[in-house]
Amino acid sequence: MDLAAVRAREFPALSDKAFLDAACVSLAPARAVAAVKTFADAAADCVEEDSSLHHVAMDGMRAKAYREGARLLHADEEEIALVESTTYGLNVAALSLPLPAGSRVLTTSLEFLQVAMPWAMAKDCEVVVVPGRDGRFDVEDFQALADARTRMIVVSSVEWCNGWRIDIAEMGRFCRERGIYFVVDGIQHVGALDFDVRAAHVDIMTAGGHKWLNAPFGCGLLYVNREHLGRLEPPLWGYLNLETPPQGWPGYFGTPSIKPVDDWHFVKTARRLEVGGTSNYPGAVALGESLELVNEIGIANVERHNLDLAQYCAQALSEAGAHIVTHADAPEQNRSAMVVFRFYADMAEERRLMQEIHRQGVYVAMRFTSQIGGMRVSCHYFNTLEDVDRLVAVVRQAGDRKAPDYHTGS
C-alpha cells in the first residue's frame, strides 16, 4: 500500500506538522472519525423498529473491533475482549489469574508505573524489580532472579522510556517451562510492530487503543490465551457477560417468568472479562476502523517501515551530535519504532530544546524511568523521512548555538 497516499487520505492534519509522538497519544485516521460521526448520528435517532433493537444494533457495531483485533494479533476472535484501557486490562490480569499468597512477581526497572501497580498494591505477593543491563532485558536477567516462589512475569514488550523490545517468544518459552504466568503490556508494541500471540506463550496481553493503534477514544484490546478461557473469574460481573438468550435480549426482557436471581451461564470467551454492561460504543467503533486500516496496510509492512525509519532517525540524530539512548546496535528483534536521544547534560537546556522542537511544529516527548530516557521520537506508518529531517534540522540549529555535551553517565 502507498503509505504517502494513506497519510494524505487518512491523516490530513499532518500536512503542516511532523507528528512523531504516537507513543504518547496518536491521531485518529479519517475513517475512524467518520465512523464516530456516523454513530453519533445514529445515537441521535432510532431507525430500528423499537429502542430495544436500537440497543442491540449498537452492541453489534463493536463486532469489527473483535474481528480486526484478532486478525492483527494472529489470535482467535474468542480470545479477544474490548477494554477501556491498558490499565483495566492489567487489573483484570491481577484480579483474575490466581496467585498463591507469598508469590513473587517479576518486572523490569524501566516500566511505566501502571505496569506493576496492581501487584504492588496487593498484600499477598512480592514484586521484584529486574535491573537489566544498561536498559537491556533478556530472558537470562529473569532466569537469574526467578525462584520457586516466582509465579508471574509482568513486562512491557517495548519499554516506554528507551524503546527496548523484549523477545517475547523467548520469554514465553521460559515462562511455559517454569509454569510462570506471562502478562504483557503491549501498548508500545501493538500496531507498530507485529505481535504474534501464536508465536509466544503469552497468558494475557493488553494494549489501549490511543497510541500506535491510532484510536484515542477510550477503547483497546485484551488478549486472553485460549488455555484460560472459561476458567478465569472476572473482577466484575455484568449481564452482557452471559450467554445471549435464545430469544435475544429484547425477547428475554419481555418474558414474564424471568427472575432476578437465576442459574446464570457466562460465556467462555475473553468477553467474560469485559465490564458486561452498556459499553463505550464510539470507542469500539473507532477502534475497529483503525485496526482495519493497519490490517489493510499489513502489520509486516508497518513494522518494516517503522524499523527502517527509526534506524534512519537514529543515524541522522547521531550525525547531528545527539547521544542515542536507544540501542541502535541491538539485534532487530530487540529494536522498536522508538528512538530516544539526549543532547545536553543540563536538563533545563534539554527542556528548552524540546520546547523549541515543539515551536517548530515537531511533536516528540520526554520520558524517563530509573535515570534512563530522554527525548522520545515515535516513527509510525504515517511518518516520512521528511518528518525526521524536520526534527534533525531543529536539533542541528540548537547544536550550532551551543554544542551538545551529553555523554553516557553525565
Quick check: is 347 in a domain? yes
Query: What's the pLDDT at 169?
Result: 96
Q: How many domains does the chain have?
A: 2
Domain that holds residue 291: 33-295
Whether 188 and 204 map to the same domain: the answer is yes
Distance CA 191, CA 109 (A): 24
Query: What's the pLDDT at 366?
Result: 98
Query: What's the pLDDT at 125?
Result: 94
CB 343 within 8 A of CB 375: yes
Whether 241 and 325 map to the same domain: the answer is no
Whether 189 and 303 map to the same domain: the answer is no
Whether 275 and 348 map to the same domain: the answer is no
Q: For cell 449498537, name the residue.
A: 58
Query: What's the pLDDT at 40?
Result: 96
**Domain's final residue, options 244, 269, 295:** 295
Query: What's the pLDDT at 328?
Result: 84
Whether 272 and 334 map to the same domain: the answer is no
Provide the CATH number for the domain around residue 56.
Answer: 3.40.640.10
**Domain's final residue, options 295, 324, 344:** 295
Whether 316 and 244 map to the same domain: the answer is no
Quick check: is 407 in a domain? no
Nearest to 54 by CA among 35, 68, 41: 41
Provide the CATH number for the domain around residue 327.
Answer: 3.90.1150.10
**Cell numbers found for residue 255:** 418474558
Whether 204 and 327 map to the same domain: the answer is no
**Domain's final residue, options 295, 311, 341:** 295
Instruction: Point out the residues of the chain with pLDDT beneath 70.
Output: 409-410
- Torsion sign over Cα 230, 64, 294, 211: negative
Whether 115 and 21 map to the same domain: the answer is no
Whether 338 and 366 map to the same domain: the answer is yes
Three-state DSSP state, 407:
coil
